[in-house]
Amino acid sequence: MKFPVHTSPYGQLPNSVTRLMALVLLALVPGVAALVWYFGWGVMINIVIATTTAVAAEAVILRLRHHRVKRTLMDLSAVVTAVLLAISLPPLLPWWLTVLGTLFAIVFVKHLYGGLGYNPFNPAMAAYVLLLISFPVAMTRWLPPEILANVQLTFGQTLHTILTGHLPDALTWDAVTSATPLDEMRTQLEFNKTISEIRQSPLWGDFGARGWEWVGNWFLVGGLFLLWRKVIAWQIPAGMLAGLLLTAGLFWMFDPETIPFPGFHLFSGGMILGAFFIATDPVTASTTPRGRLIYGFLIGMTVFIIRTWGGYPDAVAFAVLLMNMAAPTIDYYTQPKVFGARKEEDG
Amino acid sequence: MIGYREIIKEGLWNNNQALVALLGLCPLLAVSNTLVNGMGLGIATTLVLVASNTTVSLIRNWVRQEVRLPVFVLVIASFVTAVELSMNAWFHDLYKILGIFIPLIVTNCTIVGRAEAFASRNNVPRSALDGLSIGTGFTLVLMVLGGLRELIGQGTLFSGLHLMFGEGARGLVFSLGDDYHGLILAILPPGAFFGLGLLIALKYLIDRRLEERAARKAVQAEPATDTAAAPAEG
């Protein structure tokens, strides 16, 4: 009879990188389906372009770095990065911008810093910011949700627009695209309108704008699924939502006519997607329990600050990148105590 | 004593202040948004370097060890002031663009570094040559980085050349055409860091290739000794 001797750790979680990434992709399905439902096939085409580019770029650079290509590709992290980037992009973005962004995410932000596990910045968000800063016009051409759209683009028309960068004949950008709700709110506020006046437009739903808030809801479903499967820690989304709600709530109480109410912030832009899928990236986020709460809270607060007083209508990408920078410091000051350790006393 | 050929090689390549020593990064990253800006600041820096190296070398035996750094800084500051005033007089538009970075040449670590590490220990011709080659190496990196960022960021090369060479130079501006949108990030500060990082990587790649080639040549040159040594080791 043999008694095998094991060393610690005795309890092992079944989570491998591949399984985690596959679960994230699965959890994205409802949100992506909702995006396609409200904003058309462009979302899907973007995902295909970005994923193909990401996998190809990852394969090439793994070869250059003398890593085992197939095994590392199987961890699906490049696919997750590509999908997260693609769903943040406007549905009619010209294909070469999607390719450029994906290449930047995989080659520069991920592999030049050492590959999966070593990148200090979230690749998808860094690429999004690169595109937003460099190509502001193309990056703000969002479609209105399907229920409000004057023009419905067919699959063929969408593909044509993405591949050529021009709309089919007889259509103009002004007719097809519209400002995002956050952009709209911002512009109207700049005209000195009050929130109650602005919200009389048919654009708005219960919280955010019609269509947009439902996309948020479906991402929330996916996010809760990830929480249930313990893929992500609850502290980051909780901290982030609390950070946004508390900060927005505080200012809203003082000035409800120029600061949109907290629910609007919650279900607009990339907030829900960011809280559950982007800020929770295990590589670039804080890793201690208390640190995660602080990290999330600061992201939420920064989102509100930039949305209200900053130069861009949405801010999830900027906030996440800023806090990526702060994550090591947050971790340093929030190390949990080792079990059984006592506070050191003098003498 | 270091030879002249060696001094030139060190300044331009082996000990390039921007790519190897990573000195003077502040002006390097800040003004390298176009080729012409880079060239302007590079030339100004080179002038200061040659003049300060020469002067420091001249006075090296009269300055006491304890006060040498303040004296060097004084020397450098006077030359920077001279260069700044001349640029203001003859290249006024370029002077306005480069702005604060011309007086800041005083704080460029390269200059006080060369004064301390080289000019205070070598004779005048060597020090002057060192200033020239170090300055040229720095200028070349500034120009390459500036050209790269300008090309990617706004799709032109040599824009603003008339600031240095008069109106006739306007025709030399190269452009990728109006259809080119430009990756604005390349002109912003992050673009400078990415560009410099890539240039450094490129330099190391070239160095490694050269080393490999030298090693192969050495093996080919004396294959007989290798085989003869092998059994003895075994």
Residue A4 belongs to a domain: no
What tens digit of pLDDT does each residue of B137-150 get? 999 999 999 999 99
Tell which wins on pLDDT, B162 or A254. A254
Residue A339 domain-assigned (yes or no): no
pLDDT score recorded for residue B156: 83
Q: Are residues A90 and A200 in the same domain?
A: no
Residue A190 has pLDDT above 90, yes or no: no
ipTM computed for the complex = 0.76
Beta-sheet pairing, B156-157 with B174-175: antiparallel
Alpha-carbon gap, residue B3 to A46, rounded angstroms: 60
For residues A118 and B212, what is the distance between their CA atoms, to the nearest angstrom?
A: 30
Report CA torsion sign: B19, B20, B24, B29.
positive
pLDDT at residue A57 tops 90: yes
Q: Which of B181, B188, B194 sits opposite A108 (nearest CB)?
A: B194
- Residue A19 and residue A160 share a domain: yes
CB distance A135–B181 less than 8 Å? Answer: yes
Is the bond into A30 cis (omega within 30 degrees of 0)? no
Q: Which bin fits A156, alpha (ψ -120 to 50), beta or left (φ > 0)?
A: alpha
> Is A326 found in the same domain as A244?
yes
> Does the residue A188 lie in any domain?
yes
* Among candidate residues A144, A178, A212, the one where a domain is terminated: A178
Q: How many CB pairs under 8 A join A and B?
A: 14
In a domain, A291, yes or no: yes
Q: Are residues A95 and A218 in the same domain?
A: no
Res B229: pLDDT: 46
A1-33 pLDDT per residue, tens: 777 777 776 666 655 888 889 999 999 999 999
Q: Which of A148, A178, A208 is the last residue of a domain?
A: A178
Domain residues for the domain of A189 are 181-333
State the nearest Cα–Cα gap between A131 and chain B, in angstroms.
8
Q: Using one digit for the tens of pLDDT, what is the confidence trace for A112-155?
A: 998 888 999 999 999 999 999 888 888 888 888 877 776 777 88
CA–CA min distance B183, chain A (Å): 5
Q: Is residue A240 part of a domain?
A: yes
Least confident of A172-181, A332-341, B69-78: A172-181
Query: Average pLDDT of A282-301?
Result: 93
Q: Same domain for A100 and A173? A: yes
Q: How many angstroms separate the CA atoms of B106 and A19, rounded?
A: 57
A163/A42 same-domain check:
yes
Residues A202 and A118 reside in one and the same domain: no
Instruction: Give the pLDDT score at A345.
Output: 55
Tens digit of each residue's pLDDT, chain B (234 residues):
678 888 888 888 888 888 888 888 888 888 888 888 899 899 999 999 999 999 999 998 888 888 998 999 999 999 999 999 999 998 888 888 888 888 888 888 889 988 988 888 889 999 999 999 999 999 999 999 999 999 888 888 888 777 777 776 777 777 777 777 778 888 888 889 999 999 999 999 999 999 999 999 888 876 655 554 444 443
Residues A51 and A169 in one domain: yes
Q: A79 with A55: CB under 8 angstroms?
A: yes
CA dihedral A154, A155, A161, A162 (to 10 degrees): 150
Q: How many CB atoms lie within 10 A of CB A111?
A: 23
CB–CB of B185 and A130 under 8 A? yes
pLDDT over 70, % of chain A: 96
Residue A344 has pLDDT above 80, yes or no: no
Domain boundary, last residue among A147, A178, A209: A178
Chain A residues near any Cβ of chain B (below 8 Å): 100, 108, 112, 130, 133-135
Whether A116 and A241 share a structural domain: no
What distance in Å separates the CA atoms of residue A141 and residue A125, rounded to the nearest whole number? 18
Of these ranges, A157-166, A197-206, A239-248, A306-315, the one predicted with the greatest mean pLDDT is A239-248
Query: From B182, which residue of chain A is nearest by alpha-carbon distance?
Result: A134
Whether A220 and A240 map to the same domain: the answer is yes
Q: Take residue A268 and report the two structure tokens written for it.
A: 């607009």
Q: What pLDDT, on the 0 to 100 scale, is given for residue A15?
A: 58
- Residue A319 CB: number of other CB atoms within 10 A? 30
Residue A208 lies in a domain: yes
Q: Among B181, B185, B197, select the one facing A133 at the smallest CB separation.
A: B185
Domain co-membership, A163 together with A98: yes
Q: Of A289, A345, A280, which is closest to residue A20 (Cα–Cα)?
A: A280
Between A81 and B219, name the one with better pLDDT.
A81
Task: Give the per-residue pLDDT at B230.
Answer: 46
How far from chain centre, in Å, is Cα A27?
A: 13
Total number of domains constituting chain A? 2
Is there a single domain that holds both residue A35 and residue A161? yes
